[in-house]
Amino acid sequence: MIRKLTEQDHQQVITFLSEEPSINLFIIGDLEVFGYSSEFQEIWAEFDEENMIKAVILRFHQSFIPYAKGEFDTEGFVTIMKQYNQPILLSGKSDIVEQFEVFDDLHLGKKQVTFFAECLTNEYLSTENQSIAINKATIKDVDQIIELRGSIEEFHISSDAREILVQAMESNTSRTYYTEDNNVITSCVSTTAENSLSAMIVGVCTRKEYRRQGIATAIMQRLFQDILDEGKKLCLFYDNPEAGRIYKKLGFKDIGKWTMYRG
């Protein structure tokens, strides 16, 4: 049986999702911030004969994230997804979302697969570069952060990036630490989808003339320590093997793959 969830189901669904808090950080974070009665967010669950949750799917605007621990009613979830306007944006743990590829009428867009890594320990964090002054960003720094991200060739900045970052900072689901030189941000690292259990690292970037000085690594180490001290797990996506080697030196371990389909 599949049904839409309400606030009364919160503890049961969080317990279900918390067995893999990093994989489920987007769903957990969205539920903690936006709840169950928002126009742009809904969540459904499939229940077994004993009324235990076996799978869920979250809608956030046009984006869907499913999660399951075994076989689930893929077709039932597809029926829900098709009630909403195309294009459907789908993302999640690779072995789960790839089961939706057989449904041609979903018209899934371009597929991107990345590694998903998690860090649970600070034992690999170095005490080097502690003399580097690191600041925590506020709303007044948003324009500089967006400008720096936009200067990075590999980054793709959306037209609503500023609005999204401001909303995330105001809801405490994102924080950014940065360095500066003459009041110009030189390097920054951010989190996104922060919730009570986990946080994702994003937006690691440094201006070209300040690279290879260990600045971004110093920021990451400070940010990582603060988040771990709060009892949260750290996670991130990467598809660049060189970046993967850097993250693993900081204590990250691969825990799976994450697949996104974009229209």
Assign residue 8 the CATH number of its domain. 3.40.630
The answer on 38 and 167 residing in a single domain is no
On whether residue 262 sits in a domain, the answer given is no
The answer on 166 and 61 residing in a single domain is no
Residue 112: is its pLDDT beyond 70?
yes
Please give the full DSSP string across 178-197, using - where no structure is assigned. Answer: EEEETTEEEEEEEEES--SS
CA 171, CA 173: separation in Å to the nearest integer? 5
Q: What is the pLDDT of residues 161-208, one digit of tens each?
A: 888 899 889 988 999 999 999 999 999 999 998 988 889 999 999 999
Q: What is the pLDDT of residues 20-53, one digit of tens each?
A: 988 999 999 999 988 998 888 999 999 999 999 9
What's residue 129's pLDDT? 62
- Residue 80 φ/ψ, nearest 5 degrees: -65, -50
Residue 212: is its pLDDT beyond 90?
no
The answer to whether the CB of 118 falls within 8 A of the CB of 20 is no
Long-range pairs, 150-155, Cβ under 8 A, ≥24:
151/207, 152/205, 155/203, 155/205
Residues spanned by the domain of 230? 119-256
Question: What pLDDT band is residue 128 in, cutting at 50, 70 and 90?
Answer: low
The answer on 139 and 61 residing in a single domain is no
CA 116, CA 257: separation in Å to the nearest integer? 5
The answer on 126 and 97 residing in a single domain is no
Domain count, the chain: 2
The answer on 17 and 144 residing in a single domain is no
On whether residue 224 sits in a domain, the answer given is yes
Assign residue 182 the CATH number of its domain. 3.40.630.30
Which amino acid is present at 223?
L
CA 263, CA 260: separation in Å to the nearest integer? 10
Q: Which of 50, 73, 108 is the last residue of a domain?
A: 108
| Extended beta strands in the chain, E state | 2-4, 41-47, 53-60, 63-68, 89-93, 110-119, 135-136, 176-181, 184-192, 198-206, 233-238, 253-262
The answer on 126 and 165 residing in a single domain is yes
The answer on 134 and 77 residing in a single domain is no
- Provide the whole-model pTM: 0.82
On whether residue 24 sits in a domain, the answer given is yes
